[in-house]
Chains A and B, each alone.
Chain A
Amino acid sequence: MTNLFEDNLNSYEIIWKIPSHGKTLVNQQDNQIFKLSKNKENVLKIGIKDLAKYPFLTEAGEYLANTGLSLEQLSHPDWKPIVEKAYGRIVVASSGQIYGSDLESLDNDSELLSFIVAIILLKSAGIATLIRRFSLAEARRSERFLQQDLWVSRDKKNLELPLKIIQDLFAVKVSIDNDEFVIKVPDYLQRAVHFHEKEWKLVNRRVTNGFVYLSAHETVRLIRAELGEYINGKIQSVNIQSIPQGFKQRVEDLVILAKKFSDTTFVSSEYPPCVKHGIEVLEKGENLPHSGRFLLATYLLSKGQTVDQIAPLFKNAPDYNERTTKYQLEHISGSSGSGTKYQCPSCEKLRSESLCFATSDCDGIINPIQFGKKRKNK
């Protein structure tokens, strides 16, 4: 037996409780979850299918507790497929893609269990960027389900679950008005300001009586970053003391995997603020408008980077597709099609597109390319 399981824990410290002769996998903080699970009176009926879609819910831990399955059992060779599934889930996430659950398997435990095992693997490997990528990809996976659930059930009673997830986890109250979803203007603003496309500006939304109108897709899109952070925070707070034997190989594989993509990160402090900002937006998995992507591409190409070096930057973009990204980059670089090499847009152009984040280091330049070369003495 490993000392991963600890006795004498306060019950409120438990998120994912896997009883193994009365032992638990513990979490040490996160009172929010506690609150959620304590309010038994108004807990919704959440089925295994829901947990497969939203494995980060507190109810997932309760479900596992009731199955009586232990972590030791999970490391038994019989459960190898779960460990492999968990590993696959991480690999997919690390490449910037979204792990696709087949809807059939939503009815059994393997979806939920592989999520839990993935967390144990990730925590054991202890690599923050990997955890971040996983959280983001899982957020986007759940986002799809959330959107479907919102849409499908918009006129039925069981809209409760998706709305409850949004409300409990992010304190945003969503209500429905004739097939549309509405949230309060301040709740909207606090989230939408992180998006840079014009259609997210409040002036481009329907606003009435203090509410903003959204589609199901837009509603979940609005909370994506928070969902990612929520999952990330939850993983961070899980405490793993040692790794079950059956997991060791995959943990080592994760360490190797992480090395591979950490080489391709090339953020430099020499970049101008607009370029740094664009990279940050992408790293967070937020959408960067095309004008912003164009800036990154032209800027980095002009600094001598290759298409292959630049392409991975866009991996986290919500609409990433490796082939089109490469194709577009090649087009911009002039190495395909027309042969025209595109120039980096001017500061003035970028300012008009709200992509300029000038600091005093930008004084006296008219194009980001000049950043760092021409320093005015003031």
Chain B
Amino acid sequence: MNEKNISLIESAFKEYYFNRFDLIHVPKRATEREFGYQKFNSGMIRHLAIKNDKELHLLLMKEIPSDVYCSNAYYTFPNLPMSEKDWKGADLIFDIDAKDLALPCRKDHTIFKCSSCNSSVIEFQSQCPKCGSTKFETASVMCKNCISESKKEVTKLVDILTSDFDIKKEEIEVYFSGNEGFHIRVTNSDYEPLGSQERADLVDYIMFNGAIPESFGMKRQNNSKSSLPTLEEKGWRGRIAHRLFTSKSKTPKITKEIISSGYTAFQVQLEEIKKTMGVRVDPKVTMDIHRIFRLEGSINSKSGLSKIQCDNLDSFDPFLEACLLGDDNVQILADCPLQIKLKNKKFGPYKNELVSLPKYAAVYMLCKGLGNAI
């Protein structure tokens, strides 16, 4: 990123980090966690110990980081190198990203930016219409549909965590990630000591990966003897029963149909069910027990929005509630082929024009690579 952009963004971040102590806190058991941060155009600084809010605020004001992270793991010595930290356990974390949901709306708001002449288009093209280059960078913004679809995944996840895994609602924290999705963190649970392999299997459960027909009562041979799950059951068996039978009265008829179609057909059906009922989380995030994860309250430099907790998921509007930068006007050169809505105001589309925008909107465009400071 160029220097002018950085200094505009940093000045906006600085204002936030100086003024919004009320939003920025260390997580529970902070002294056992590893912290890290990044500045624009430079590498990650990790293995930091931060004891309390005050130390955190001091660091933020001094460094004005582009991104701030904190481990989900608990260590005896969080500031030593990884091999000496002494891992004690880790919160369960989940990452739900609109980008991973294969939503049809994505193509309407993914912007292709030519790497050589910088012009941007919405539709995918193999060659830049202006200069013929074949190299593009993409920038994406989140639309209403992306938000509501991501929320659905969060709701599915929370349902499995509470009913199948007996995790208390109070221990589940849901955050807007600051860019295009949600982060979920479970603290204080029996799941804390689990290693990476165990978490991988847990995530397969949540995603409904690797389910075999036998587990749902379908026999490979002699399948007339199959006994499918019932509506009263819990866990995946219950969920599958609801999906297949919808109601008690329809159960016998549908059971017959499924059994007569056979094992392979049922297997295909389970694959289909996985696509809609499995929770689409990023398995790598949950499996990683040494990860440093974006710190709540900090700003995400991919958008200029903050990672904040969603108290009421249904009504949560990231473009309103997570957009927390200042609103005095700054001039930028905007090149944004889409209209963007922030804090209930509409911006753009702009075709390489000089515009005066509130800081939060200007920073959003710069972070997305859709504009330049002048």
Contacts and interface: CB of A to CB of B under 8 A. Distances in A.
B234 A208 contact: yes
B172 to A, nearest CB: 14
Contact of B235 (A184, A186, A198, A208): A208
Contacts of B56: none
Contacts of A207: 164-165, 205, 234-236
B237 A210 contact: no
Contacts of A189: 194, 198, 201-202
B225 to A, nearest CB: 18
B190 to A, nearest CB: 5
B208 interface: yes
A366 interface: no
A208 B164 contact: yes
Contacts of A185: 164-166, 190-191, 202
A202 interface: yes
A190 interface: yes
B215 interface: yes
B211 interface: yes
Interface in B178-202: 190-191, 193-195, 197-198, 200-202
Contact of A203 (B194, B197, B236): B236
A193 B212 contact: no
B166 A202 contact: no
A35 interface: no
A350 interface: no
Contact of A206 (B194, B210, B235): B235
Most buried by A among B167, B190, B208: B190
B123 interface: no
Given A193-B198, A201-B204, A201-B210, A209 B215 contact: no
A209 B238 CA distance: 13
Given A186-B191, A186-B193, A193-B197, A204 B166 contact: no
A186 B166 CA distance: 11
Contacts of B255: none
B88 to A, nearest CB: 15
B163 interface: yes
Given A186-B191, A203-B208, 16 more contacts: A185-B164, A185-B190, A189-B202, A190-B193, A198-B212, A199-B215, A202-B202, A203-B209, A203-B210, A204-B212, A206-B233, A207-B205, A207-B236, A208-B234, A210-B166, A210-B167
Interface of A: 184-186, 189-190, 192-193, 198-199, 201-211
29 contacts: A184-B190, A185-B165, A185-B191, A185-B202, A186-B190, A186-B193, A186-B194, A189-B198, A190-B195, A190-B198, A193-B198, A198-B210, A199-B212, A199-B215, A201-B201, A201-B204, A201-B205, A203-B204, A203-B208, A203-B210, A203-B215, A204-B214, A207-B164, A207-B234, A208-B164, A209-B166, A209-B234, A210-B166, A211-B166
